[in-house]
Amino acid sequence: MEDNIYTPLNLNDIDDSIQEEIRTKCGIDVDLCLECGKCSGGCPNGHIFDYTPRKIVRLVKLGDKETLMTMDALWICLSCQLCLDRCPSGIDIPAILDYMREKACRGGVEASRPRVKLFHELLLSSIRERGRVSELDVVLKYNWKTGEYMKNARLGVKMLLKGKLNLSRSRVKETEEVRRLFEATIAKDLP
- Tell me how far, at minimum, the Cβ of 3 lies from another protein, in Å: 5
Residue nearer to another protein on the CB measure, 6 or 149: 6
Note whether 44 and 121 are within 8 A (CB).
no
Residue ranges in contact with another protein by CB under 8 A:
2-6, 8-12, 29, 31-32, 35, 54-55, 58-59, 61-62
Question: Inter-axis angle of helices 175-185 and 114-130, to 10 degrees?
Answer: 130
- Tell me how far, at minimum, the Cβ of 52 lies from another protein, in Å: 10
Residue nearer to another protein on the CB measure, 54 or 127: 54
Note whether 76 and 35 are within 8 A (CB).
no
Residue nearer to another protein on the CB measure, 5 or 167: 5
Alpha carbons 16 and 59: distance in angstroms, whole number: 11
| Dihedral angle computed from the Cα positions of residues 16, 51, 69 and 15, in that order, rounded to the nearest 10 degrees | 10
Alpha carbons 101 and 96: distance in angstroms, whole number: 9
Alpha carbons 53 and 43: distance in angstroms, whole number: 8
Residue nearer to another protein on the CB measure, 32 or 157: 32
- Tell me how far, at minimum, the Cβ of 141 lies from another protein, in Å: 39
Residue nearer to another protein on the CB measure, 7 or 168: 7
- Tell me how far, at minimum, the Cβ of 151 lies from another protein, in Å: 38
Helix, strand or coil, per DSSP, at residue 169: coil
- Tell me how far, at minimum, the Cβ of 27 lies from another protein, in Å: 15
